[in-house]
Structure 1
């Protein structure tokens, strides 16, 4: 006989659930609210903005210029005056004005592009390597397979702060820190190395759930190993593959430590986490702009989850039980 739960227990349970949801969602609601406000209204009480505006997003995405990005009257007067100065003095004054304007600007779209390229490409390369590696671990018998398979997870025994200095020294010695492009390549390699171990583990567990008889039938029909992977394994493993790609993308998209080490000397290659950190610590920090930037930063991940939800939920549980 099933006992009925006490109404007090039910009310208490749902009260705790509601309080937990409010506690988790309130910071995000406040961030979204501030992003739709004017700078002067950023700290007004209440979640709903009294004077909602889209100007912050328009400025952030380059559809509208901010006051800080426009020349001040004083700077405009300087431009008129330097025309009468010698050429070397003109260059010095122009350099000073451009440096000031550059300091006051926040090239969000450039940071967004850098992060999207690094995260998207590194996740794709990591996924491709992991598909072939996981297939080898799950289907091909070779000496030391178990040792290698367990050994790839050793990297997660050490934190990023421990690996940062050795990795930086390695890339310095091979010349991948001398310019912005080379530092971005070093960051690209690190993101791949960071995500491959778990990707191999997740995909390997999933591949083991696929019956060998399907592959054997394909091989009897004349298919090669590559044909089996591309025509059978990958189509049957889409939930796990998409899950792994989202995982690898999120790791690279949100990564800050290695980006702050490798590309900090090259502002044109800043990623979004590094760029957001700069504006948060800047003397020109504007709360509405910072919150709008944070909201836009979360959009790609949210869109990916919404588009791939059915694959994601299948991939998270697949491979957990082996027959």
Structure 2
């Protein structure tokens, strides 16, 4: 009976896992397949995953500046996402370390207050942020998006890094201080190397939020030359060049940077939590 129950549980687990994978992967497979299908095959019934006559015409159209300025939108998104993630990580490192290690009046109140930002949806913050951005003279600039995305991702980044910093043994930091290291030297020489997986994870999180965000970008950006990829993809719907295959090709190209980023830093995420923390 025990063997049958165990086998039944494994079968149920595998079936549920396959359903979840299908639910997650089917949209991506459809997107990639449609990007290579000629226009006449887009509405073919029954639909085929592998097109009969694969073509690159949709990618050629997307990369044609006269049809869709993809490279310009890509550059804008890359600049905004990279600076947003980088600045957010730097602020999070020092803020999270203060929450995890330093004792000062009001620390717990500030820490909980930061997380309270997530009680309010993005729609509720659009108007006050718009007023602040306009008064600072930053409307229709990439800087407005960088500031907004840093504010948007900072609470979770602080929470994630703060919890990770607490897992770093205090004895290692105390030994470094006894050896004459300052608090900043402890952060750069001890805490950061041991927290590389968490820092990389926070960077990827902040980068993805900034890369895919649409609401604030649609409010703060007016010039077509400063549009990010989400805005550009939305505008493609309303042009004479709109076709399903071209939309799917643009979506595939938009997803590639995030995939490359994740694959390039995967070893840091799966690395040891205390690598290098013990002297040999």
Q: TM-score, normalised by structure 1?
A: 0.78
8 Å contact kept, 1:240–1:314 = no
Residue among 160, 168, 174 paired with 1:216: 174
- For 1:273, the equivalent position in structure 2 comes to 230
Gaps of 5+ in 1: 70-104, 319-323
- Shift of residue 209 of structure 1? 1.1
Q: Residue by residue, what CA displacement relative to the aligned partner does 1:207-251 show, whole Å, maximum 9, x if unpaired?
A: 111111211211122211111111111001001000100010011
**Separation (CA, whole Å) in 2 of partners of 1:255 and 1:216:** 42
- Shift of residue 56 of structure 1? 2.3
SS in 1 for 2:5: coil
Q: TM-score, normalised by structure 2?
A: 0.89
Residue among 51, 54, 70 paired with 1:52: 54
SS in 1 for 2:186: helix
Q: Look at both structures and tell me which one has the larger radius of gyration over its CA atoms.
A: 1
**Separation (CA, whole Å) in 2 of partners of 1:266 and 1:188:** 16
- For 1:303, the equivalent position in structure 2 comes to 260
- Shift of residue 108 of structure 1? 0.6
Residue among 248, 254, 259 paired with 2:217: 259
8 Å contact kept, 2:89–2:202 = yes
- For 1:101, the equivalent position in structure 2 comes to none
SS in 2 for 1:308: helix
Higher relative contact order (CA 8 A, sep 6+): 2
8 Å contact kept, 2:88–2:153 = yes
- Shift of residue 171 of structure 1? 1.4
Coordinate RMSD, CA, aligned = 2.2
Residue among 153, 159, 162 paired with 1:201: 159
- Shift of residue 284 of structure 1? 2.9
**Separation (CA, whole Å) in 1 of partners of 2:192 and 2:12:** 47
**Separation (CA, whole Å) in 2 of partners of 1:14 and 1:127:** 38
Gaps of 5+ in 2: 275-280
SS in 1 for 2:231: helix
